[in-house]
Amino acid sequence: MYLLSIHYENAKKNDAGKLCFERKRGKIRKWTLIPSGPAGRELLQFIALACGGPGFLARLPCDLHRFCRISGTPFHIEILLVRHSPYDGRSLTPHLFGSGIEINDGGQVKILKKNNCRMLPPGISIFKPPLGSGNLKYLILGYGSQWRPHENTDVFDFRDPFHRITRFHSLFSSDVPITDPIAFLFRLHYKAIRCSRFPAQQTIGKLSALFKEYLNIETGRWLEKRCDFEQEWYQLRPWQQRVALPILDAVRHIIDASPRSGTPLDRPGIMLLDRPDLFCTEKIFPRWIMLMNRLLPAMQCVVTLSDKARSNFPRSTQRKRLPLPPAAVPTELKTKKTRLSRGTILLIDVDSRLPNLALMKLSRYYKEQGRKVVLARKSSKIKGAKGVYASSVFFSPASTRRVVALRAYYEDSLIVGGSGVDIHSRLPQEIEKLPADYGLYPELGDRAIGFLTRGCPFKCPFCIVPLKEGKTHQVSNLDELLQNDREKLILLDDNILSHSRAGEILEDMARRNLQVNFNQTLDIRLLDKEKARLLRRIRCSNTKFTRPAYHFSLNDTSNLDRVRRKYRQLGFTPKDNVEFICMYGYNTALAEDVERFHFLRSLPGAYVFVQRYQPIPGGPAPILKKFFDDNADKLINELLKIIFPQNMKSMEKYYRWLSKLYVMTFGKLHMGLVDTIFRYNNRDHKGRYIATLAGTMKNHSLP
């Protein structure tokens, strides 16, 4: 993000005016120098204010009403920005846009809408202030002339949802702390030297080289495996510590904002500096500027300086220009489909995670009639179809919204089926018996998909299979499924082991040397020694057939001893990949969930995939009133110690559900859960997640 211009009215010191940043031939000046003094400092503060959302501005360490010049008239700011993709979001958004706010004399902030922005060029898109939420996009840093560092009080885990304000709060108060240099250098060194992470290696290498070259700081030990940064820091002279502090703070925040960048210091952004000549000596000041220029090569800098410091500013550095990003080309824009040719049949896959077998059979039926068939996804709206058939597999809010949108668009020409709409809906028998059209989903490649059996003898209340399919019965055979001699099969059977001829079917698979993905899992309780032997002969695989994998289910804690005995019959070792689908959120208690996970962790080669219970239409609601008992905290702490060697990303969903339920039950956060959720992934989202749960704590009750 770069700032192209700022316009203001009714400002305390500056009254009304504008500041436009010099642009020539597609480039902008890297260093913009403005006179020091109250008006210059206020101008820097304007930029920080305009790039902040109301949630941030309300937490600035100052009274916002102080910026209004005339009582009863709001202080008005408008800015023109240019964004950089991918740092500031997808390339679909206009690269040039405006934003603005008003602050009344009561300190209340109002976001300007397009019809309120009267000073920006016409035709510019107007968005909310870009810092509104999150930690990644639209990087702006700001430093006053005085600050102090944290001393063993700094927090690096993004727990504060308003952490971002610390990037520029010293512009508004000299009493606020900036980054603890010792703690930050220790963390950077650990990631770079101990963990060999490329971004950290690049950063500490560049820092140590420039500190040595421009500030005469001996940094040789910084790259050694053992380095005492407390000792290193206190060996520095006071002036070296003083000039290094804002540099380290800036680097810390840039790293925070660039978790997926290999070279975070090269990202664009805005840096505001109020009188850096005050914390630098006259001799060091030009060297400090040259250091910053090389350390942050893409950062736009706006600096207030005294006349003497301006004359001492390095001329070669002042001539530096930054290329503006070209106008974004929306390569990802969805092209508007033309009207379908006459007589075309449109099939819409609303939500399938796998190729939709019902649509594949419909496709075969209409192609045999000579019709053209087109497949669309989700809630696609295409004109001209002869008939429109949609299939929704899941009964979820997202799928329901898509079906509602499709019905509103296609009206009477639409026919919707699938378990997500009606568990009793069926294809006509003449279509059901047809082989699937594999041409509808070319991504299947050499994989076959389908059912050998349907149904299940058990009547689990949470399951649609007994209602929809009845008892187990055979509906096809391998010859019918394996078109063109395919040797990979995604099997969708509900409970194949419950069929009376299960042993014969497994024997046929093993004899053909098939690779089989038992997609809906196997009921391990129904295995015997012979079936276990056959199952080990079959090349069981994951859905993409990239590795061997076995799939079972474990929805409660009943018969765990039986499951263990059956598991031993299979002879698995820690080298095997054995996934157990564990449903949660129906009728198990936390203690039972923990017992299941402990049990699975004890089985060699086993790991868990957790799946939240989603009620079917008219199905039983979750039973959660007794989920927690008096040992809730102890059980959660025990849960967090259960680490599987793979697929822990799946457990993160369970932790999120559990943390929300904990808040709704007890009216407080379990920080151990929150810390675990963000230990490895999306660390910068932690504060926002905590803020989301904060409102729940005020009105906590089970749904």
CA angle 645, 647, 653 (to 5 degrees): 130
Mean pLDDT of 618-633: 89
Q: Does the structure show a pLDDT above 80 at 336?
A: no
Residues 137-164: pLDDT tens digits?
889 999 999 999 999 999 998 888 888 8
The residue extents of the domains of the chain are 2-26+46-126, 140-323, 345-431
What pLDDT was estimated at residue 329?
A: 41
Mean pLDDT of 363-367: 96
Q: Does the structure show a pLDDT above 70 at 334?
A: no
What pLDDT was estimated at residue 698?
A: 58
What pLDDT was estimated at residue 582?
A: 95
**Paired strand residues for 448:** 489
Q: Strand 15-20 to strand 2-11: parallel, antiparallel, or no bridges (unpaired)? A: antiparallel
What pLDDT was estimated at residue 703?
A: 44
CA angle 541, 542, 548 (to 5 degrees): 40
Q: Find the Cα–Cα–Cα–Cα dihedral 104, 108, 111, 115, rounded to 10°.
A: -30
Q: Does the structure show a pLDDT above 80 at 327?
A: no
What pLDDT was estimated at residue 132?
A: 54
Q: Which of 452-456, 462-466, 524-528 has the lowest mean pLDDT?
A: 462-466
What pLDDT was estimated at residue 586?
A: 92
DSSP 8-state class, residue 522: B
**Paired strand residues for 642:** none
Q: Strand 31-35 to strand 299-305: parallel, antiparallel, or no bridges (unpaired)? A: parallel
Q: Which residues, 6 or more positions from 149, have their beta carbon under 8 angstroms from its beta carbon?
A: 177, 178, 179, 180, 181, 245
CB atoms within 10 A of CB 262: 11
What pLDDT was estimated at residue 609?
A: 95
User: What is the assigned CATH class of domain 345-431?
Assistant: alpha beta
Q: Does the structure show a pLDDT above 50 at 224?
A: yes
Q: Are 34 and 40 in contact (CB under 8 A)?
A: yes
Q: Per-residue confidence at 700, pLDDT binned at 50, 70, 90?
A: low
DSSP 8-state class, residue 142: E
What pLDDT was estimated at residue 93?
A: 61
Q: Does the structure show a pLDDT above 60 at 626?
A: yes
What pLDDT was estimated at residue 185?
A: 97
SS3 189: helix
Q: How far apart are CA 400 and CA 12, in angstroms?
A: 53
pTM: 0.80
What pLDDT was estimated at residue 315?
A: 93
Q: Are 613 and 583 in contact (CB under 8 A)?
A: yes
For the chain, what percent of residues have pLDDT higher than 70? 95
What pLDDT was estimated at residue 591?
A: 97
Mean pLDDT of 415-421: 91
Chain-wide mean pLDDT for the chain?
91
What pLDDT was estimated at residue 105?
A: 86
Q: Per-residue confidence at 400, pLDDT binned at 50, 70, 90?
A: very high
Mean pLDDT of 324-348: 67
What pLDDT was estimated at residue 348?
A: 95
Element (H, E) at 101: strand 96-103
For the chain, what percent of residues have pLDDT higher than 90? 73
Q: How far apart are CA 399 and CA 377, in angstroms?
A: 11
Q: Which of 419-433, 489-503, 550-564 has the lowest mean pLDDT?
A: 419-433
Q: Does the structure show a pLDDT above 90 at 210?
A: yes
Q: Does the structure show a pLDDT above 70 at 20?
A: yes
Two tokens at 425? 């809906």
What pLDDT was estimated at residue 328?
A: 43
Q: How far apart are CA 686 and CA 574, in angstroms?
A: 34
Q: What are the backbone angles phi and psi of residue 318, rounded to the nearest 5°?
A: -65, -25
Mean pLDDT of 417-436: 90
What pLDDT was estimated at residue 141?
A: 96
Mean pLDDT of 285-293: 97
What pLDDT was estimated at residue 331?
A: 37
Q: Per-residue confidence at 342, pLDDT binned at 50, 70, 90?
A: confident
Q: CA torsion sign, 406 to 412 to 416 to 422?
A: positive
Q: How far apart are CA 522 and CA 524, in angstroms?
A: 6
Q: Which of 125-134, 324-333, 397-406 has the lowest mean pLDDT?
A: 324-333
What pLDDT was estimated at residue 169?
A: 94
Q: Does the structure show a pLDDT above 90 at 616?
A: no
Q: Is omega for the bond preceding 86 within 30 degrees of 0, making it cis?
A: yes
Mean pLDDT of 600-621: 89
Q: Which residue pairs from 635-639 have beta carbons closer than 8 angstroms and sit at least 24 positions apart in sequence?
A: 635/590, 635/591, 635/594, 636/590, 636/662, 636/670, 636/672, 636/673, 637/672, 638/594, 639/590, 639/593, 639/594, 639/597
Q: Does the structure show a pLDDT above 90 at 535?
A: yes
Strand ranges in 298-363 using DSSP code E only, listed in sequence order: 299-305, 321-323, 345-349
Q: Does the structure show a pLDDT above 80 at 365?
A: yes
Residues 500-528: pLDDT tens digits?
999 999 999 999 999 999 999 999 999 99
SS3 604: coil
Two tokens at 487? 């040797």
Q: Per-residue confidence at 571, pLDDT binned at 50, 70, 90?
A: very high
Q: Are 175 and 186 in contact (CB under 8 A)?
A: no
